[in-house]
């Protein structure tokens, strides 16, 4: 099925710029977290650690890992959306072939699935 006719070349070019900026932002955020963690370890690494410090570190690592997983999926979706632009299939769901509404693409330019497809993917996790 073809993309919605409302997806003009100008809109798609704008979306490419947004996707590239978004990819830099998501990847940059993770690099910042890793750099801060490394700097903290270098500064405080030799200090004696209490049990509570270790528990807090484990909890923070769990949150960081969950965010990393979300970021990994988001980067994969961004990359796929950029590929779809190159293929000429941007705005069409990878799973169903249905058009992705322009409003969804404006809100979430990395969308490669319809809302229903995205919900199904979340349920499978």
Q: Is the pTM of this model over 0.85?
A: no
**Half-sphere exposure (Cβ direction) of 15: Cα atoms closer than 13 Å:** 29
pLDDT at 58: 72
Q: How many CB atoms lie within 10 A of CB 51?
A: 7
User: What's the chain's Rg over C-alpha atoms?
Assistant: 19
Euclidean distance between CA atoms 25 and 23, whole angstroms: 5
**Percentage of the chain with pLDDT > 70?**
67
3-state secondary structure at position 6? coil
Interval 63-122: pLDDT, tens: 676 666 678 889 999 999 999 999 999 999 999 999 999 999 999 999 999 989 888 888
């Amino acid at each position: 099925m073809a993309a919605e006719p409302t997806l003009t070349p100008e809109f798609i070019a704008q979306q490419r710029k947004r996707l590239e900026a978004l990819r830099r932002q998501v990847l940059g955020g993770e690099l910042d977290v890793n750099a801060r963690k490394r700097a903290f370890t270098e500064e405080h690494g030799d200090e004696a650690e209490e049990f509570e410090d270790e528990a807090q570190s484990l909890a923070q690592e769990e949150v960081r890992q969950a965010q990393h997983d979300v970021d990994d999926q988001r980067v994969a979706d961004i990359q796929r959306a950029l590929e779809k632009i190159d293929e000429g299939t941007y705005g069409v769901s990878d799973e169903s072939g249905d058009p992705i509404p322009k409003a969804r693409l404006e809100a979430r330019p990395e969308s490669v699935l319809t809302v229903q497809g995205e919900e199904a993917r979340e349920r499978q996790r």
